Amino acid sequence: MVGGMIKKDQEENGKKSREERSPSEAPSEARSEGGWEEKYKRARADYINLERRTKEQQAEFLKFANSVLILKLLPVLDDLEKAVQKSKDSGLNLVLKNLQEVLKSEGVEEMRIEVGDEFDPRTMEGVATAEGTEESAEAQKVNEVLRKGYRMKEKVLRPVQVRVRS
């Protein structure tokens, strides 16, 4: 009973009536009555953005879904190329061509690096250095390509292994 009287006194003495309040002083319930539309619009925009991001992530996943398998096939391709160079067997040439066509259809391409090209750490892996007498400007040039590198669409699957002049 005493608690009820205190509450009544607070309402009478400490607070203005609803008619006397300005709109900015209105209780949060009154402000939120019209704010539900804003909350709905914000939630809807968040949901639309989430859908868009999810679709983009799914498309990115599908684009590179085969990259793990292709990475496992690249050493087989390397070995097959070595076998073709040594044996000159027409059957091996046909198998090599077929494998290269399959990889090409999946968006895999060999990165062409030549001796004398600038060293690019984004596409190359420097595994050794070659001593040279060239000036320091030549220090970051490819001296020898040790292993081919491959790219799938715009993503580097396997960097080119190179020897760099030091």
Rounded (10°) angle between helices 67-87 and 90-105: 160
Distance CA(97)–CA(93), nearest Å, equals: 6
Residue 137: what pLDDT? Answer: 47
Superfamily of domain covering 67-165? Head domain of nucleotide exchange factor GrpE (2.30.22.10)
Residue 17: what pLDDT? Answer: 46
pLDDT tens by residue, 90-120: 888 899 999 999 999 989 999 999 888 899 8
Reported as a pLDDT band with limits 50, 70 and 90, residue 11 is low
Higher pLDDT, 8 or 76: 76
Q: Over the chain, what HEC string results?
A: CHHHHHHHHHHHHCCCCCCCCCHHHCCHHHHHHHHHHHHHHHHHHHHHHHHHHHHHHHHHHHHCCCHHHHHHHHHHHHHHHHHHHHHCCHHHHHHHHHHHHHHHHCCEEEECCCCCCECCCCCEEEEEEECCCCCHHHCCEEEEEEECEEEECCEEEECEEEEEEC
* pLDDT of 139 over the 60 cut: no
Residue 132: what pLDDT? Answer: 59
Distance of CA 69 to the CA centre of its chain: 18
Distance CA(159)–CA(146), nearest Å, equals: 11
Residue 65: what pLDDT? Answer: 84
From residue 38, how far is each of 41, 42, 45, 52, 133 by CA, in Å?
A: 5, 6, 11, 21, 71
* pLDDT of 72 over the 80 cut: yes
Residue 87: what pLDDT? Answer: 86
Residue 56: what pLDDT? Answer: 94
Distance CA(164)–CA(118), nearest Å, equals: 9
Distance CA(119)–CA(142), nearest Å, equals: 6
Taking each continuous run of H as one helix and of E as one strand, the counts in the chain are: 4, 6
How do the domains of the chain map onto residue ranges?
28-63, 67-165
Q: Which two tokens stand for residue 112?
A: 């062409």
Mean pLDDT along residues 145-155: 91
Residue 80: what pLDDT? Answer: 92
Mean pLDDT along residues 135-141: 61
pLDDT tens by residue, 13-71: 544 444 444 444 545 544 556 689 999 999 999 999 999 999 999 988 888 888 888 99
Residue 18: what pLDDT? Answer: 47
| pTM confidence score | 0.60
